Structure 1
Amino acid sequence: MFLRLRGRTVLLVGGGEVALRKARLLQRAGAVIRLVCRETHPGFDVLGITPAATDFDAAQLDDCALVIAATDDGALNRAVAEAASTRHLPVNAVDDVAASTAITPAIVDRAPLLVALSSAGRAPMLARRLREQVEQLFDQRIGRLAEYIGSRRDRQKDMAIDTRRKLWEAFLDGPGAAAAMSGDEAAADHELARLSADASQRGVVWLVGAGPGDPDLLTLRALRLLQNCDVVLHDHLVAPGILDLVRRDAERIFVGKRASQHTLPQDQINTRLVELAQEGKRVLRLKGGDPFVFGRGGEEIAELAANGVAFEVVPGITAANGCAAYAGIPLTHRDHAQAAIFVTGHPRADGQLDLHWDALARPGQTVCIFMARTALAQTMAALRAHGLPDDWPAAMVVQGTLAEQRVIAGTVSDLPERVAEADVAGACLVIVGEVVRLRAQLRWFGDVAD
């Protein structure tokens, strides 16, 4: 919550360095500072602030919008806080979270845009460190863009809220925003008028790869679209931490598919994507891993293209890359694997695996098997039957890249038994090849079960 303090009185008790820092922020916000202290830091003279009184009195709270107790006397700070709380005034007692009802955050100031970071008073140094990182994300001219938008908002006041929001988001994603930031208001106005002429804004589908699980492995483009969509259709492989990044007011539709459990058949998913886009919505189809690696992404965009729906594909880190890296298993290595092959271990309706076993059961390569849990024993037996020795390395990575990650390592002969004994659940990937032996030296993440 932000307080509008311009022209309003703030009681500041304390005259030292800490109080001076508070005074600078308050003065920048346009507050009228009522300073109470016996001695002042020289910096107060520079700010042109002189004490109104030497000692605190409850009457000094009259007409105040905010109270800050910033002395080096903890008892005095608490007394000020108690008096302010009695009057239901927001109060910040420095270094006394229990006595405070307001926290002064670390801020990134790009007026009129203001970003505040707070640790609820528990770790102010961490909040300041994060502020330094956030500072780097925002162009110094972003405030000019905020001023431009504020000066043009009334022009769209007769539009429906959703239409207005889409208009401004399209503006921010296009050349208009850059023009406003550079001070070229004529070019910005031209772009805004062009977008306003098509206020309905055609729907679009974004086919986005959510990566193997860890939200930190999302692409920047994926993160941006998570915040811009109107509705998201997601499957069960998308980690909860990633769904937490979706815009709060976006509609969420679960269309997850597991073996023999189809919340929504694929053809109905395709139809739903078309329908939502034709309603003018920005639809995010969120898939675990990469949408073009065993994600049926090609089928979905074929349906969109056939119906004239605009779409965009955003690749993600596929499970093979993510899980192997977090398990400490390089997919290629000049001494062990000169190729990496991705296959699906999901059997056909008749229970058979339709794979080119002769090509898979060879040395000098790594085989990554997606959806391998159901037919794991059958898969390992087939590799052995087509030439791989019983002691050929193999591993299953479960919940890869997440804190719950487990790696079960063995051979093509004993991996099914090891997995059964481990009794693990969750998304998994099986890796077969000599590179699995390297994990004993290269593993770096999470707990590993052998």
Structure 2
Amino acid sequence: MDTTFRKPAEAAPARMGPLAVLPVFLTLEGRRVLVAGGSDAAAWKAELTAAAGARVEVFAAGPGQVMAKLEEAGTLRIIRRNWTEADIDGAAIAICDAEDEAEAAAFAAAACTVGARWNVIDKPDFCDFQFGSIVNRSPVVIGISTAGAAPIIGQNLRRRIEAMLPQTLSTWAALALRIRQRTLDLLKPGAERRLFWERFSDLAFSRTVADEASAEALIMAAQASAKAPGHVTIVGAGPGDAEYLTIKAMRALQAADVILFDDLVSTEVLELARREAKRMMVGKRGGKLSCRQDDINALMVRAALAGKHVVRLKSGDPMIFGRAGEEIAELSAAGIPVDVVPGISAAFGLAARLGVSLTHRDHAQSVRFVTGHARDGSLPKNLDWKGLADPATTLVVYMGAGTSRLLASRLIAEGLSGGTPVVVAEAVSRPEEAIRAMTLGALAEQGAALGAAPVLIGIGRCFAEARAASRGEAALQIFSHCA
């Protein structure tokens, strides 16, 4: 393996993709809103804009009961006649429940003429803006739009977000408004302020009641912590699918100042990181130019001593063939705090993909994870081959594509049947995933193809139960031909 130093590559900043609509939040406090029509649908839009502080005027010759009750409650004023173009003049926004397309077109044209933004209910072709689904934890307000394509999806998403957000979030957000100036006065820009707001946000999502004393304690803690050196979080990114990330991993990525990531980490995972974080690719790949481990260690130490929160992002689980032990030892020797966030190892992703239990009681009483190559790229010489060849053991080989023929031949020589089921998986859980089924004898003859994607080899009787059905395919018994 070539160990020539490769300068860490800085990842390009995340770029915004195309937007069907621009999400904006409009201040309506004290501004005039015109609503044309007295229907229940119009009443809902009128009540919504009034809740945002607008002065709502409704033009309707015959307002419905819901609209009339809003007038009785003092929410809005009703002018009992049909709208005219002159009525729209001076309105911040104009809303109409049109009877037909002719009225919709006339209303849109009139609003455009006087410079108001317009919305014709349930007629997106005549709208200058749309109302989305709303999650209200005011002053936190979340708007959801599908650009009129699928309102039901928007409503479903709103229900999911509602279930995730505590009702107490609104009181924490209100507290944030009250203490904002105090944080500006007491906390230095950069690390101190960000640390405070990160911890404040954690409390806001803890479903506890907001109070001034908690905020004061956080301010003092941020002042004290900012004077200490930074720290490192070693995070498992999983095999590739971003949905395998843990909540704790997500929080670490969102709090990072610097992210040092392996080149096996997927783009989808990196997209979830804090956009302001400096990203550096320090990938280590067998047979390719790579950053030396010493250089990676030095980068982490230097950034942490500068007060940064460093996330060392590793594919799979960092504690399984991830050299995390070496990094932890180096950081500890430098007096830098380090914590570890476990990830889903590729072996578990493969088991989930195939629907197999690696320790199925009818097939295996143990499971072993081994590396497929030594430092020089050859087959490791100090493995317990007798134990690995135990037919009651499930064996998962990492980084073994290059030595797969030798490994399979050695296992057969140690007594493991050439008919033992084998799966060779590339890019587990990624869109380009490919899984092939064979026997141990076939692996000894053919080997595992060495491509660009990471390869994982599963050997054992449990793989006779493998099914490729986890992504919606019809169940497929891939080892029906095996004894």
In the alignment, which of 428, 432, 437 is matched to residue 459 of structure 2? 432
Q: 2:114 and 2:321 mapped to 1: Cα distance?
A: 62
Match of residue 341 from structure 2: 314
In the alignment, which of 28, 42, 48 is matched to residue 51 of structure 2? 28
Q: Which amino acid aligns with 2:193?
A: R
Verify: 1:380 aligned to 2:408, yes or no.
yes
- 1:5-404 correspondence runs (5 A): 5-48=28-71, 49-52=76-79, 54-86=81-113, 89-158=116-185, 159-172=187-200, 181-200=208-227, 202-349=229-376, 351-354=378-381, 355-404=383-432
Q: 1:314 and 1:24 mapped to 2: Cα distance?
A: 46
- Tell me, yes or no, if the aligned pair for 1:38 and 1:54 is still in contact at 8 Å: yes
| Residues 78 and 209 of structure 1: CA distance in aligned 2, closer, same or farther (over 3 Å) | farther
What secondary structure, in the 3-state scheme, does the structure 1 residue paired with 2:164 have? coil
Which is further off, 177-186 or 244-253?
177-186
Q: 1:282 and 1:350 mapped to 2: Cα distance?
A: 34
- Tell me, yes or no, if the aligned pair for 1:403 and 1:446 is still in contact at 8 Å: no
Report the CA distance between 1:276 and its aligned residue. Answer: 0.9
Give the root-mean-square deviation of aligned CA atoms: 2.6
Q: 1:309 and 1:232 mapped to 2: Cα distance?
A: 16
What secondary structure, in the 3-state scheme, does the structure 2 residue paired with 1:68 have? strand
Percent of pairs identical after alignment?
Answer: 36
Q: Which amino acid aligns with 1:192?
A: I
Which is further off, 82-91 or 283-292?
82-91
| Residues 92 and 162 of structure 1: CA distance in aligned 2, closer, same or farther (over 3 Å) | farther
Q: 1:239 and 1:256 mapped to 2: Cα distance?
A: 12
Q: 2:428 and 2:93 mapped to 1: Cα distance?
A: 49
1:200-229, Cα deviation, whole Å (9 max, x unpaired): 464121111111222111111111222121
What secondary structure, in the 3-state scheme, does the structure 2 residue paired with 1:258 have? coil
Q: TM-score, normalised by structure 1?
A: 0.91
Report the CA distance between 1:9 and its aligned residue. Answer: 1.4
Report the CA distance between 1:79 and its aligned residue. Answer: 3.3
Q: 1:62 and 1:384 mapped to 2: Cα distance?
A: 87
- Tell me, yes or no, if the aligned pair for 1:78 and 1:93 is still in contact at 8 Å: no
Q: TM-score, normalised by structure 2?
A: 0.85
What secondary structure, in the 3-state scheme, does the structure 1 residue paired with 2:313 have? strand
| Residues 82 and 351 of structure 1: CA distance in aligned 2, closer, same or farther (over 3 Å) | farther
| Residues 407 and 63 of structure 1: CA distance in aligned 2, closer, same or farther (over 3 Å) | same
| Residues 352 and 190 of structure 1: CA distance in aligned 2, closer, same or farther (over 3 Å) | closer
- Tell me, yes or no, if the aligned pair for 1:232 and 1:253 is still in contact at 8 Å: yes
- Tell me, yes or no, if the aligned pair for 2:372 and 2:379 is still in contact at 8 Å: no
Q: Which has the higher contact order (CA 8 A, sep 6+)?
A: 2
Report the CA distance between 1:165 and its aligned residue. Answer: 3.4
Report the CA distance between 1:377 and its aligned residue. Answer: 1.8
Q: Which amino acid aligns with 1:69?
A: C
Q: Which amino acid aligns with 2:252?
A: L
- Tell me, yes or no, if the aligned pair for 1:15 and 1:71 is still in contact at 8 Å: no
Which is further off, 305-314 or 259-268?
259-268
Match of residue 405 from structure 1: 433
| Residues 320 and 280 of structure 1: CA distance in aligned 2, closer, same or farther (over 3 Å) | same
Structure 1: gaps (5+ residues): none
